[in-house]
Amino acid sequence: MGSLPRRQRVAAYAVILREREGRVEILLSRLAPRVSRAELWTLPGGGVDHGEDPRDALIREVHEETGLAATVGDRARVYSAHMPRSPRDGQLVDAHAIRLVYEGWVSPDSPAPRVVEVDGSTIEAAWRPLDDVASGAVPVASVVTEALVDHQPFRLQRVAAYALVTRRRGGQEELLLTRLSPRAAHPGRWTLPGGGVDHGEHPSLALAREVEEECGLPCRVGELVGVHDTHFAGTAPSGRIEDYHGVHLVFRATVADGEPRVLEQDGTTDAVAWVLAADIGSGEVDVLELVRWVLDREDVAAEE
């Protein structure tokens, strides 16, 4: 009995995760009956054509299988699967699959996935709960479970500077706050004006720049109030799930007279206003924990 024909194939796939209502979901493609008679889901992706860049192939395949525009990371993990007796196009072959698996993500406002390719190897695309994949409730190809062991949320540590700007009006204390836009991680909530410190940039200069962009007023930066940090996993404005650690340098600051207004277009801030400290304390104004942290420090400082 002769040996089976050899088939070697290079394919690129993506682990694409998102978070919805506190639940992590993964984008999967369901294999067509001609590929798997039983229900079986796999990562979106497919074969790399001769001369094609694997990342370009993956972006093309994700669109064909899900209808979505994906962003693909720069690095991949390589998986190898040898299947000595595997059915291919109606015959048994000695198959060898080399799989390049990248991290990918799509915009948070992407539409529901749908298969674009006609008569392809997949018949359905959907976001499936990651817990259901882990429990076996969603039957998946081996490449999915292999890849999920290695592809953890992207870790990002970010240093940012924020301004504590206060004033008294009518005997009441007000804080200058900015509202997070839909592009931010917590849209609709209020926080201190400020933002990320660029590489090589002094934090006080970064803060003055950010305050002017977000509030439209020149800013004078004073002494450091304290250092706050936060650690959570969630969806970044790009759509990528991140294991995020934010280190926040909070400075006292003053701004020039005038009505604050947002200068930056299409950024993470969509409004700026003077807000009563009492409304923050009562919960009437929804703020990030950073704001409550700095107000608690100010109360302690006043008591001392």
CATH 3.90.79.10, the chain: domain bounds:
6-150, 154-303
Calpha distance 32→12 (Å, rounded): 18
List, as one string, the DSSP characters of the chain: -PPPPEEEEEEEEEEEEEEETTEEEEEEEEEPTTT-SS--EE-SEEEPPTT--HHHHHHHHHHHHHS---EEEEEEEEEEEEEEEEEETTEEEEEEEEEEEEEEE--TT-------SSS-SEEEEEEEEHHHHHHTSS-B-HHHHHHHHH-PPEEEEEEEEEEE-EEEETTEEEEEEEEEPTTSSSTT-EE-SEEEPPTT--HHHHHHHHHHHHHSS-EEEEEEEEEEEEEEEEE-TTS-EEEEEEEEEEEEEEE-SS-----SSSSSEEEEEEEEHHHHHHTSS-B-HHHHHHHHHHHHHHH-
Give the CATH H-level superfamily of domain 154-303.
Nucleoside Triphosphate Pyrophosphohydrolase (3.90.79.10)
- β-partners of residue 246 are 158, 230
The pLDDT of residue 299 is 67
pTM of the model: 0.67
Calpha distance 129→132 (Å, rounded): 5
Distances (CA, A) of 15 to 77, 94, 223, 273: 11, 27, 44, 40
The yes or no reply on domain 6-150 and CATH 3.90.1170.50 is: no
- β-partners of residue 30 are 41, 124
The pLDDT of residue 2 is 58
The pLDDT of residue 19 is 86
Residue tagged 């979901």 (tokens): 25
Calpha distance 220→199 (Å, rounded): 21
Calpha distance 138→268 (Å, rounded): 36
- Render each residue's pLDDT in the chain as its tens digit; 304 residues: 458 899 899 999 999 999 887 788 999 999 999 888 899 999 999 999 999 999 999 999 999 999 999 999 999 999 998 988 887 777 888 989 999 999 999 998 899 999 999 889 999 999 999 999 999 999 999 999 999 988 887 888 999 999 999 999 989 999 999 999 988 778 899 999 999 999 999 999 999 999 999 999 999 999 999 999 999 877 777 888 888 899 999 999 999 999 999 998 888 899 999 999 999 999 999 999 999 999 988 764 554 4
The two tokens of residue 140 are 């998946």
